[in-house]
Amino acid sequence: MSHSVDEPWLLGLPKVELHLHLEGSMGVETVRSLADRHGANTTEIWPEGLPERFSFDGFPDFARQFFFGLGLLRSGEDLATATADLAATLAKQHCRYAEVTTTAYTHFVGRDGQPGMAPSEYREGLNEGRRRARDLGVSLSWVIDIPRDLEPPDSTVTVDYLEGSQTPDGLVAIGLGGYEVGFPAAPYAPHFGRAMALGLHSVPHAGETEGAHSVRSAVEDLSADRIGHGVRCLEDPNLVSLLVERQTMLEVCPTSNDLLQVVESTDQHPLPALVEAGLNVSISTDDPGWFATDLTNELRIAASLLRATPESMVGLQQSALDASFAPDDERRAIAAELSSVPVS
């Protein structure tokens, strides 16, 4: 880490986060609380009891743990609990505003014998969680994504929901998540067209487990306002030029890229090359509970990779704010805070 960006300063820096998943934010204590609430047997996944922090050996092990946690979100109150727990963590990081992705489809269809949640209950759970977050000083907006590896293009569960009357307050965008390999973005263009006709923004994942062609498709077929991850855009110089010209924000998540083997290690993360190429980047956590990270830690990694100064770290937060869909009054308040951060 750059010696000029010390830990107390970084922790106190007002922050904006653009890429994190509600279902991926569940830490050990949230899982413990929800498991106790539902009488769920955690030893099925963790025979020696819940660990102090989650870890996993490759993607299948991660998925096994993740879907156990997902199965604990059975009611609106469970969603409110998870959201409030996430907000408490964000508040400790001095995060003022976050855009949180949630996957409605996985709650509506049910799993492992559990019935699906009614859209009205899903809405009320998210709204209550958002109210609790506001009480902690954290403003949340929602992104609802299509899980491409679960909801095929001929299904319209998610976009039908977006067009209905039961969406949560603070909904700003549609996303496209899930495993990229074998699940291209282009077939979802009609879904995104319908969502954008409602005034929603487009923030698909791309260039994480697939190459630059996936990023190009997100831009050209889904009219992406921002790209979730996008680190593999560097494989195509012409694409890099397009992204630079448009200043399309890449939501970069270093620990996630390391743990899911997108990169060999955080030390070899392409963040410096992205910045050097003139690309617009922000730093996020992705699945902070499962990856045992937080926004301060991700910014610490970024500061080390970029040999950053305090000025450049403030600049990263301003860039994230500029690329956010925050209401104008909140945008002005956070910008004022950032302008008053001491940098020397």
| Cα 24 off chain centre by | 8
Residue 344 lies in a domain: no
Name the pTM for this structure.
Answer: 0.95
Supply the pLDDT for residue 2. 39
Residue 2 lies in a domain: no
Closest of 46, 47, 99 to residue 69, by C-alpha:
46
Residue 151 lies in a domain: yes
| Adjacent-strand bridge partners of 111 | 114
Supply the pLDDT for residue 276. 97
* Cβ neighbourhood burial of 22 (10 Å; 0-12, 13-18, 19+): buried
Q: Provide the domain limits for residue 102.
A: 7-338
Residue 12 lies in a domain: yes
Run means of pLDDT, 10 residues per run, the chain, 344 residues = 74 97 97 97 94 86 90 97 98 98 95 87 98 98 97 97 98 96 97 98 96 98 98 98 98 95 93 98 97 96 95 97 98 98 91
DSSP code for 113: T
Residue 1 lies in a domain: no
Please pick, among 128, 151, 208, 298, the residue that the annotation labels catalytic.
208
Which helix (H) or strand (E) segment holds residue 339: the answer is helix 328-339
CATH code of residue 331: 3.20.20.140
Sheet containing 139-147: order of strands: 15-21, 95-102, 139-147, 171-177, 201-202
Residue 343 lies in a domain: no
| Cα 184 off chain centre by | 20
Supply the pLDDT for residue 5. 87
Supply the pLDDT for residue 62. 85
Q: Is 208 a catalytic residue?
A: yes
Residue 54 lies in a domain: yes
Rounded Cα distance between 233 and 66, Å, is 28
Closest of 295, 158, 264, 289 to residue 303, by C-alpha:
295
What does residue 275 show for φ and ψ, rounded to 5 degrees? -65, -45
* Cβ neighbourhood burial of 34 (10 Å; 0-12, 13-18, 19+): buried
**Number of domains making up the chain:** 1
Supply the pLDDT for residue 61. 85
